[in-house]
Amino acid sequence: MALHSLYVDLNSFFASVEQQLRPELRGRVVGVLPVMADTTCCIAASIDAKRFGIRTGTPVWQAKKLCRDIVFVQARPPVYVEIHHRIVAAVESCTPVSAVLSIDEMACDLMGSDREETNAVKLGRQIKQAIYDQVGEVLHSSVGIAPNRFLAKTASNMQKPDGLVVIRQDELPQRLYGLKLGALNGIGRAVEQRLNQLGIHSVEQLCHASKDTLSRAWNGVEGERYYAKLRGEAVASAPTQRSSVGHSHVLAPDLRDPDSALAVLYRLLHKAAMRLRHYGYCAGGLGLHLHYLKTDAGDARWVDQARFSPHADTFKFNPALAELWQRRPPDPGPILKVGVTLTDLVEHSQVTRDLFDPDDQHEPLNIVLDQINQRYGANTLYFGGAHRGRSAAPMRIAFSHVPELQVENDGEG
């Protein structure tokens, strides 16, 4: 099978951007902080800092212990977004970018003769050089080339910094055996625990596991897709070409007041989130639709949308809905119909975790929620008082969220 995908991942992106723009930081141990405070954690560490064991999530006190000479700088998200767009343009000067997966990662589908190894490697070198020439000479990247996108991303992780790694079809699956389970994209802590419970503790065992076993580990179709991805197959998303999941509901006359309408909206949201997880997707946007009952001028519609870094966590969708709800126009009359839509879908396995939330504590809770509701009927377990929790859980704009994140539904995993 030919090489179908090339993956570009910038090394120590935020820290490297700071070193690019501030030459005095080059060669230094740099920690990027969300705020300049001793109580916070590094959201990025420079290539030199990683040699001291400092990485994303290292608390400031610990980073200081690991390297006394560390320099802390405050993150500048708008700057990183601007550089991101310039990097995408640099890559596009070599070959079309098929999907942007995070602020510092993008995938290119290889076409024609680029699918041959020598040409693919040449293209990889060109891309790295284009980033140096067009954006900045200290912006190193790791390029992975493989039969599918999942393996290309895996390859990009195998050599850092400044890597260029090819995984060929005839090297599968042995080439993957040296990796840890958790190092594979799509294997978070919860999935790893379920794999362990099924007797799978290594990538070698994962590669030998049956489709059924993987379906159990992933609680659904994502397991079957994972089975195919490990084998270098191009994997169709299921359901194909899906770009949103939503529900709407016409309210009964006694439910047309704001409190009841909001309660219905939460139920619709939780149903949509459950379907989202069932399909193995994350959503990067939430839309709220309200149709008001207008007796004189017909119906009036109001629509608004929130964007965030893609996830599939009901506990995080709740405050986003609460925030949208607050934005609605003040009292234009009874609400006739309500709807929610989860938009900007990306495959769960392709999502880079929120940098502020490296350990997703909610994943097992969401799975339990879905299992109970599937067995005993939707809304058996639901979030009482979720709307009152709004101020306790304000929506965050994460750095891993890229404005105008391109979402692709070409089905390639």
Binding residues vs Mg ion (CB under 5 A): 9-10, 104
Least gap, CB of 104 to Mg ion (angstroms): 4
Least gap, CB of 34 to Mg ion (angstroms): 17
Say if residue 173 is preceded by a cis peptide, omega within 30 of 0. yes
Three-state secondary structure call for residue 140: coil
Least gap, CB of 162 to Mg ion (angstroms): 12
Comparing CB distances to Mg ion, the nearer of 218 and 399 is 399
Comparing CB distances to Mg ion, the nearer of 47 and 200 is 47
Comparing CB distances to Mg ion, the nearer of 9 and 114 is 9
| Catalytic annotation, pick one of 18, 105, 222, 408 | 105
Rounded to an integer, what distance in angstroms lies between the CA atom of residue 345 and that of residue 242? 8
Comparing CB distances to Mg ion, the nearer of 9 and 363 is 9
The closest alpha carbon to 282, from 356, 222, 206, 193, belongs to 222
Query: Is 116 an active-site residue?
Result: no
One-letter amino acid of 268: L
Exposed/middle/buried for residue 300 (C-beta within 10 Å: 0-12, 13-18, 19+): middle
The CA distances from residue 333 to 222, 292, 323, in Å, are: 44, 6, 20
Comparing CB distances to Mg ion, the nearer of 127 and 340 is 127
The closest alpha carbon to 12, from 130, 178, 136, belongs to 136
Least gap, CB of 11 to Mg ion (angstroms): 6
Q: Nearest 5 degrees, angle CA 275-CA 278-CA 284?
A: 65
User: What are the counts of helices (DSSP H) followed by strands (DSSP E) for the chain?
Assistant: 13, 12
Least gap, CB of 232 to Mg ion (angstroms): 23
CB 132 within 8 A of CB 86: no
Three-state secondary structure call for residue 45: strand
Rounded to an integer, what distance in angstroms lies between the CA atom of residue 358 and that of residue 360? 6
Comparing CB distances to Mg ion, the nearer of 63 and 106 is 106
CB 21 within 8 A of CB 53: no
The closest alpha carbon to 353, from 311, 320, 387, 412, belongs to 311
Least gap, CB of 413 to Mg ion (angstroms): 20
In 344-389, alpha helices (H): 362-376
Q: Give 319's strand partners.
A: none
Instruction: Just list the catalytic residues.
Output: 105
